C-alpha cells in the first residue's frame, strides 16, 4: 500500500469508527459487534505506525491514552461558567416562576402567555467545557472558578461519548457533565480497598479524580461517560432549549434523553417528585433536576444575576433517611489526637449505597442525641454523601441498650485524655501515640498534601508496622529493596512506589504547610499562609503577631503554628526534609478576588449542611468573592451554621459575628 492509498484508507477508517461510536454511544443503536469495531481500530493503528505522519487530531486512537503530562495548564473560559440557583421545595419553585414572570412583565410590558420550560436531570458529575474549531475538538476544561479552569483535554479524549470531530465543521462551545457509571464506581472501590487505598465517597469524586490525572491511561481506565446539555457558543442562534438538545444529538453528542418539554410549573414539580423516587434505578447519580425557560428570546431578556442565570433553577432532592440499629460505638484517634466516636450500624441502604458507619462528631453530640449501643436510630445521608445519626428512638428500647461513657484513656495507647478549655473535643495527650503517628503519615501523603500515587492508607500502615518508616521524612529514604518481600509487593510494584515518592519531593507551599499537620491549620488556612508569606523560611520565622495579620489566622491558630515550629520533634523532622531535598515550591500569587456579594468577606462554615457538601459551600463562597476560614475570630464576617453546629457557632455568638442559616446563605450568594 502506497502513502496515498494509506491516506484514503485512514480517512475511511476514521469515518467508519466514528460513525459506529456515534450509533453506539449517542443513538444507543450498535450496528456491529465489538470484534468488528476492534478490528477496525487495529487496522488504523497499524497504518498510523507505518505512516506516522498520517496521525490526525481526530484519530479515535487518541482515546486509548497518550503520554503523561508534567502538570495541568490553565484555560481562561471564553464564556463564563455559571452555576444555578437552588430550590429545595415546591414553594421555592413556584416563587422562582413568579419572580421571572414579574421580571418579564417589567421588561416586556406584559406577562408572556406562551412561556414554557424544559426540565432535565441534574447529573452529579464533573462539569466540563469543550471547544471545537471547524468541527475538531481543540480543548476540554474544568469549570474551575467559572473564569479559569484546568486543561484536561488529554483525559477527556479518552471518553467515547466525547466526539473528537463533529458531524459538521463548525466552531462551537459545549458544556456537559462527566460521570462514572455506578457499577464501574463499585468495582473501582473494591480494587482500591484491595490495594490499601481509601474508597471514593461517591462517583462524582471518582470521576473528578479520573479527569484530574496527569496520565491519560489512568483516565481511560476509569471508563468515564458524559452527557452534554448546553451550547454556549454557536454559529447561528438556536431558538429554544428543546431545539438545542436536539442539535447536540445531531452534532454527535450524547444527550441524556430523560429531558422533557413541559408547559406548566405543575408538570415540572411532577417530574421532580417522580425522579426523586426512582433516581437510584439509573446507572448514574442524580441529585436533582434543572428547569430552564425554553424560549431563548425570554432567556436573553431574563439574563443573569450575580453568578447564576435568572432563567434556570436547580431543584435538589431531599437528603435520604432510613432507620437502623446501633451495633456498637467505638472511638477513632485522629492525627491531632482528637477522639471521635463512630457508630457501627446494621447495614442500611441510602442513596444507592450501603451505610454501616456514621460519625457522632464528639461526646457532647452523643449526650444531646442520647444515643446508646443497641438503639434504633434515624440515619441521614445529607447531600447523598455524609452519613449521620439525626435521632434516637427511646420508646423502642428493650432495656438491654448501653450508655457510652466518655473515655479518659486513649483507646490506642492508654495515655490520659485531655479536654482543652473552651473545646468540646477530647485529645490523647501522648505525642508518640501510634494512632497519631499513623494518621499524621496518612494526612501527609493524602490528596491535599503530597498526594503520592499508589501510597494508600493500608500501605502506610504496613510500612509503619514493619519499622521501615517512623516519620514522613523516612518515606523519601526508601529504596525498592526495602519493600521487596513484603506482602503484596512484587519487584515492579516496589520500584513504582519508590519512583512515585521521589517524584513528589517538591510540592506547592500550601500543600507542604497542610501536609505538616499543624493543629488548627486546614486546607484554607494553608492557602492563606502560603499567599501571605510566599516562602516556607518566612513562615518558620513568623511570630504570633505577624501570623495574626493573615486573614485566616486568629490568636489560637497563630499560637499553634509558633508552637509547632518550636517543638524539638518537628525541628528534627524539618531538618531531615531539608537534607533530603523535600519541601515547597514558591507559592503562586493569588488570583484577583472575584467581585460579588461576599467580596472581601471572611466566612466560616460549621455544622452539617443539608443541601450541599462542605466543598460545594466553600466553592460558593469563593465564587461570590469571599474567603473561607477554618476558625472564628474578630476578622470573621459571617458564620454559616448547618445542623448541629459546633463550638464555632458559640464563639460567633460571643463575638457578635453575623450567623446565617443555610437558606440565608443561599439567598446571599444567589
**Residue 481 burial (10 A CB sphere; 0-12, 13-18, 19+):** exposed
Helix (H) or strand (E) holding 414: none
Helix (H, G, I), strand (E, B) or coil at 392: strand
What whole-number distance in Å separates Cα of residue 487 and Cα of residue 192?
Answer: 16
Q: Which residues on adjacent β-strands are paired with residue 142?
A: 128
SS (H, E, C) 46-90: HHHHHCHHHCCCCCHHHHHCCCCCCCCCEEECCCCCCCCCEECCH
DSSP output for 108-176: HSS--TT--EEEEEEE-SEEEEEEEETTEEEEEEE-TTSSEEEB-HHHHTT-TTS-SB-SS---EEEEE
Active site residue 122: yes
Find the helix packing angle between 265-278 and 90-108, rounded to 10°: 150
Q: For residue 160, how many other CB atoms are within 10 A of its CB?
A: 19
Do 175 and 81 contact (CB within 8 A), yes or no?
yes
CA-nearest of 310, 318, 307 to 98 is 310
Could you give the CA distance from residue 627 to residue 170 in angstroms, rounded to a whole number?
40
Is 205 in contact with 167 (CB distance < 8 Å)? no
Residue 503 burial (C-beta neighbours within 10 Å; 0-12, 13-18, 19+): exposed
**Cβ density class 208-229: b for 16+ within 10 Å, e for less:** bbbbebebbebbbbbbbbbbbb
* Grid coordinates given for 337: 489526637
- Cβ pair 255, 242 in contact under 8 A: no
Task: For the chain, give the longest Cα–Cα distance.
Answer: 87
DSSP code at position 396? G
CA–chain centroid gap for 549, Å, is 31
Q: If residue 115 lies in a helix (H) or strand (E), which one and from where to where?
A: none
Phi, psi of 600 (to 5 degrees): 75, 5
- Cα–Cα distance, 346 to 328 (Å, whole number): 10
Q: Is 45 left (phi over 0), alpha (psi -120 to 50) or beta?
A: alpha
Nearest to 202 by CA among 351, 324, 388: 351
Catalytic residue among 122, 279, 381, 648: 122
CA atoms within 13 A on the CB side of 342: 15
CA 313 to chain centre: 21
Residues labelled as active-site residues: 122
Amino acid at each position: 500500500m502506497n502513502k496515498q492509498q494509506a491516506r484514503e484508507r485512514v480517512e475511511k477508517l476514521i469515518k467508519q469508527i466514528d460513525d459506529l461510536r456515534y450509533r453506539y454511544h449517542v443513538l444507543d443503536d450498535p450496528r456491529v459487534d465489538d470484534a468488528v469495531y476492534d478490528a477496525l481500530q487495529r487496522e488504523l493503528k497499524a497504518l498510523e505506525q507505518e505512516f506516522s505522519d498520517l496521525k490526525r487530531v481526530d484519530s479515535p486512537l487518541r482515546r486509548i491514552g497518550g503520554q503523561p503530562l508534567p502538570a495541568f495548564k490553565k484555560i481562561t473560559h471564553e464564556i463564563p461558567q455559571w452555576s444555578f440557583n437552588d430550590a429545595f421545595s415546591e414553594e421555592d419553585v413556584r416563587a422562582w416562576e413568579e419572580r421571572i414572570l414579574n421580571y418579564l412583565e417589567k421588561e416586556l410590558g406584559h406577562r408572556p402567555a406562551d412561556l414554557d420550560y424544559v426540565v432535565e436531570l441534574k447529573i452529579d458529575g464533573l462539569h466540563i467545557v469543550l471547544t471545537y474549531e471547524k468541527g475538531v475538538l481543540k480543548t476540554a476544561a474544568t469549570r474551575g472558578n467559572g473564569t479559569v479552569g484546568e486543561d484536561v483535554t488529554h483525559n477527556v479524549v479518552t471518553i467515547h461519548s466525547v466526539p473528537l470531530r463533529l458531524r459538521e465543521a463548525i466552531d462551537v462551545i459545549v458544556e456537559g457533565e462527566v460521570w462514572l457509571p455506578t457499577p464501574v464506581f463499585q468495582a473501582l472501590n473494591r480494587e482500591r480497598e484491595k490495594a490499601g487505598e481509601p474508597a471514593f465517597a461517591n462517583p462524582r469524586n471518582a470521576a473528578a479524580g479520573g479527569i484530574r490525572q496527569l496520565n491519560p491511561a489512568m483516565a481511560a481506565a476509569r471508563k468515564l461517560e458524559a452527557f452534554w446539555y448546553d451550547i454556549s457558543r454557536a454559529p447561528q442562534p438556536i431558538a429554544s432549549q428543546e431545539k438545542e438538545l436536539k442539535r447536540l444529538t445531531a452534532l454527535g453528542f450524547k444527550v441524556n434523553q430523560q429531558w422533557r418539554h413541559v408547559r406548566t410549573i405543575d408538570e415540572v414539580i411532577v417530574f421532580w417528585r417522580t425522579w426523586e423516587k426512582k433516581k437510584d434505578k439509573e446507572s448514574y447519580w442524580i441529585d436533582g433536576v434543572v428547569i430552564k425557560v425554553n424560549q431563548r428570546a425570554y432567556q436573553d431578556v431574563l439574563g443573569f444575576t450575580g453568578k447564576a442565570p435568572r432563567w434556570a433553577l436547580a431543584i435538589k432532592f431531599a437528603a435520604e433517611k432510613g432507620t437502623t440499629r446501633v451495633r456498637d460505638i467505638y472511638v477513632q484517634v485522629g492525627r491531632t489526637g482528637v477522639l471521635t466516636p463512630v457508630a457501627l450500624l446494621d447495614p442500611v441502604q441510602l442513596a444507592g449505597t450501603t451505610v454501616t458507619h456514621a460519625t457522632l462528631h464528639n461526646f457532647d453530640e452523643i449526650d444531646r442525641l442520647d444515643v446508646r449501643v443497641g438503639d434504633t436510630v434515624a440515619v441521614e445521608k445529607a447531600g447523598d454523601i455524609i452519613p449521620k445519626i439525626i435521632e434516637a428512638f427511646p420508646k423502642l428500647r428493650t432495656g438491654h441498650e448501653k450508655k457510652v461513657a466518655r473515655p479518659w484513656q486513649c483507646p490506642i495507647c492508654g495515655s490520659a485524655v485531655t479536654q482543652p478549655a473552651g473545646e468540646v473535643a477530647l485529645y490523647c495527650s501522648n505525642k508518640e501515640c501510634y494512632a497519631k503517628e499513623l494518621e499524621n503519615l496518612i494526612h501527609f501523603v493524602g490528596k491535599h498534601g503530597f498526594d503520592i500515587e499508589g501510597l494508600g492508607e493500608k500501605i502506610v500502615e504496613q510500612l509503619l508496622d514493619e519499622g521501615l518508616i517512623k516519620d514522613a521524612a523516612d518515606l523519601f529514604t526508601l529504596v525498592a529493596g526495602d519493600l521487596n518481600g513484603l506482602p503484596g509487593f512484587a519487584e515492579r510494584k516496589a520500584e513504582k512506589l519508590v519512583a512515585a515518592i521521589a517524584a513528589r519531593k517538591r510540592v506547592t507551599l500550601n500543600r507542604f504547610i497542610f501536609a505538616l499537620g499543624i493543629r488548627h491549620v486546614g486546607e484554607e488556612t494553608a492557602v492563606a499562609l502560603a499567599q501571605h508569606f510566599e516562602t516556607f523560611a518566612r513562615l518558620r520565622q513568623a511570630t504570633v503577631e505577624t501570623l495574626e495579620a493573615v486573614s485566616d489566622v486568629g490568636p489560637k491558630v497563630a499560637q499553634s503554628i509558633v508552637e509547632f515550629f518550636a517543638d524539638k520533634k518537628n525541628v528534627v523532622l524539618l531538618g531531615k526534609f531539608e537534607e533530603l531535598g523535600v519541601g515547597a515550591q514558591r507559592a503562586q500569587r493569588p488570583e484577583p478576588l472575584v467581585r460579588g456579594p461576599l467580596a472581601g468577606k471572611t466566612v466560616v462554615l460549621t455544622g452539617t449542611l443539608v443541601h450541599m457538601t462542605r466543598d460545594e459551600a466553600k466553592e460558593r463562597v469563593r465564587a461570590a468573592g469571599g474567603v473561607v476560614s477554618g476558625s472564628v475570630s474578630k476578622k470573621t464576617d459571617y458564620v454559616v451554621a448547618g445542623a448541629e453546629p459546633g463550638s464555632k457557632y458559640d464563639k460567633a455568638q460571643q463575638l457578635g459575628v453575623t450567623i446565617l442559616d443555610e437558606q440565608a446563605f443561599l439567598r446571599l450568594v444567589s
